[in-house]
Amino acid sequence: MQATQRAIGILGGTFDPIHHGHLRLGLELYDALRLKLVLFTPTGHPIYRKQPVATPEQRLKMVQCAIAKESAFMVDDCEIKRQGPSYTVDTLSELRQKYPHSPFCLLMGIDAFLGLSSWHKWQEILQHAHIIIAHRPHYSLPHSGVIADLVKTHLQENSNYVHENLSGGILLKPLTPLEISATDIRKQIAMGRNPRYLLPDSVYEYIQNEQIYRIR
């Protein structure tokens, strides 16, 4: 189906907490793809990983603090508000009601993409969005299997494809590697160390005020 507006990036995650690695990925892909905006969608209740330490409301607030001064970014709380599990395919379907004429670009790292076949209704993802794979130097994709077949069928070379079609393409985009770990940030805070420069000051200030991640 043809699109009538520029593509919107969608960057999901637990954001427990959000850090500069998330923000840099969003900004680099925003620039590289000439996106209309990037929507940060904090996960409400993740299914395939441990439950976050911070509450959904705290993680939403941290994202709001992090992106407050970046006009290219917006936050959407549809997963936080949703009752029950957080499935990407449901989020894309819900966002389609808000943005009926905008292509969606689901932004993810290569590690997440390699695990795509474990996602709920993963075969339907490309019916709702394009997939943009942010990769680091020396990355590798499989040469066989369902993920390899998916790439062979849907890989696009021209970024214009994501603006001209609502969904269905896969693009590979190189990314500046920032080895920042939310797990490590939580550990540093728990130990009383200063995680400054790993995450925005506004986020760290909120964490301190709420005493998130402290050992009680």
Give the model confidence (pLDDT) of 89-106 as tens digits: 999 999 999 999 999 999
Which residues in the chain come in under a pLDDT of 70? 1-3, 48, 216
- The pTM score is 0.94
pLDDT value of residue 138: 74
- CA 199/CA 98 separation, integer angstroms: 30
Residue 165 per-residue DSSP state: B
Tell me the CA distances in angstroms from 84 to 80, 93, 112, 121, one per residue in order: 10, 16, 22, 16
Residues contacting 190, CB < 8 A, separation 6+: 213, 214, 215
Dump the DSSP string for 84-125.
S---HHHHHHHHHHH-TTS-EEEEEEHHHHHTGGGSTTGGGH
Contact at 8 Å (CB) between 33 and 13?
no
- CA 60/CA 12 separation, integer angstroms: 12
Q: Among candidates 155, 73, 74, which has minimal Cα distance to 113?
A: 155
pLDDT value of residue 2: 61
**Residues forming a β-bridge with 107:** 132
Residue-range domains of the chain with CATH? 8-179 (3.40.50.620)
pLDDT value of residue 178: 87
pLDDT value of residue 120: 93
Is residue 103 packed enough to be buried (19+ CB in 10 Å), middle (13-18) or exposed (0-12)?
A: buried
Residue with tokens 């970046």: 70
Listed in order, strand segments (DSSP E) in 122-197 are 130-135, 170-174
